[in-house]
Structure 1
Amino acid sequence: MKVVKLADIIDTENHVKADNWESRRLLFKKDGMGYSLNDTIIKAGTETHIWYQNHLEAVYCIEGEGEVETLADNVVHPISKDTVYALDKHDEHLLRAKTDMRMICVFNPPLTGRETHDENGVYPIIEDDE
């Protein structure tokens, strides 16, 4: 059994920060669960272009308000506390935060924890478990 406390991750290598978001990475590929789990903060007033071509992601918003615009059809989906959205078709999208948003994110295949978005908003597949 593995027990992870968010407080133990803050300001470590598992707390990844960008200009418009922070990802606190809780479970990884090496944990052998078949998915990874992140606790992510999206900063108010920001827009993030994301296109997980190599991963499926489910996102549960537990705080805040914003929207996701899927770029294939330009549909805007309001997102608020207690809302789940699933990018089940590797959907290219824009994530806009009206307020700070706290999101619980599950990835399949699981992340190693070392991934960063490329210029197209894509996480690469990293084959090793380190």
Structure 2
Amino acid sequence: MKLARVQGIICTEREVNGPGWTSRRMLLKKDGMGFSMHETIIPAGAELNLWYKHHLEAVYCVSGNGSILDKATGETHEISDGTLYALGKHDQHTLRGGTEDMRLICSVNPPVTGREVHDEDGAYLPGTRDA
């Protein structure tokens, strides 16, 4: 059994910051669950162009608000507490923070190793080793 508390991850190597986001990696590839799980904070007003070419992701919003633009369809969907979105087709998207910081719980498959940041396309590179 593994137990993780976000308070124990803040300011450790499992907290990764990028432009417009902070990710607290609660489960990683080395934890052996077959997926990784993160708490991600998107600040109000942030805008992220993302494309997880090598990963699938499901995201559940537990607080705050924002929107997601599906670049394939041009549709924008509002995100708030209680909203889930799933990127099952390696969807190119723009995630925008709203008037409040968004707190998101993210599940990623295949799992990340821990220190990944987005490349120029907004993707994580496929993991090749445990961190």
Q: What is the TM-score normalised by the length of structure 1?
A: 0.97
Matches within 5 A, 1:43-54: 43-54=43-54
* Aligned equivalent of 2:65: 65
Deviation at 1:28, TM superposition (A): 0.4
**Separation in structure 2 between the aligned mates of residue 74 and residue 83 of structure 1, nearest angstrom:** 19
Q: CA RMSD in A?
A: 0.7
Gaps in structure 1 of 5+ consecutive residues: none
User: Percent same amino acid among aligned pairs?
Assistant: 52
Confirm whether residue 116 of structure 1 aligns to residue 104 of structure 2: no
Asked if residue 21 in structure 1 is aligned to residue 13 in structure 2, the reply is no
Aligned residue pair count: 130
Q: Which amino acid aligns with 1:51?
A: W
Counterpart of 1:95? Answer: 95
Q: What does residue 80 of structure 2 align with? A: 80
TM-score, scaled to structure 2: 0.97
The one-letter amino acid paired with 2:13 is: E
1:37 — aligned with what? 37
After TM superposition, which residue ranges in structure 1, 4 or more long, deviate above 4 angstroms? none
